[in-house]
Structure 1
Amino acid sequence: MRVSILLTILAFSGAVLAQPNLTPGASQMESILVVGGTAHLGTGEFIDNAAIGFEDGIINFVGTAREVDQKRYNRVV
């Protein structure tokens, strides 16, 4: 019994040590707008022909591609 408990603890501790070290990415330098996809929201709803805008590492727009002012963003993908 003790051996099986010890082996279980060793197996789980090995899995914890095998995780990679995560390094944060570089800061966002320009505002980006992603258009034309389907956005699946956390409420179960979805938006066809969606536009999602990012600025300073924060999502600042989620809506349809017709609603967004594309001139506000430096890069449109």
Structure 2
Amino acid sequence: MATNRRIQSLEGLRGIMIFLIVLSHMEFLKYCNFGHAYELYWHNPTIAVDYFFMLSGFGMMFSFLKHGGVSAVGGRCTPDVY
């Protein structure tokens, strides 16, 4: 039985960032009764995209190090230092 060793709180934060990014692409919301809240807060997803990439990179590095530095194709990652 394989154990799932993901960090659930970081997966949840990634999900929230994805939701904010998708919400920013919904242009029809600026015509609803939100006032200027959509244009001020939700239309610019720059911070959400930055956090999404940061959390994704951390998750990939965490997975890589968890497996002992062995890549998915079977090669070992060692620096070429002489």
TM norm. shorter chain > 0.5: no
Larger Rg: 1
**Which structure dedicates a bigger proportion of its chain to strand?**
1
**Which structure dedicates a bigger proportion of its chain to helix?**
2
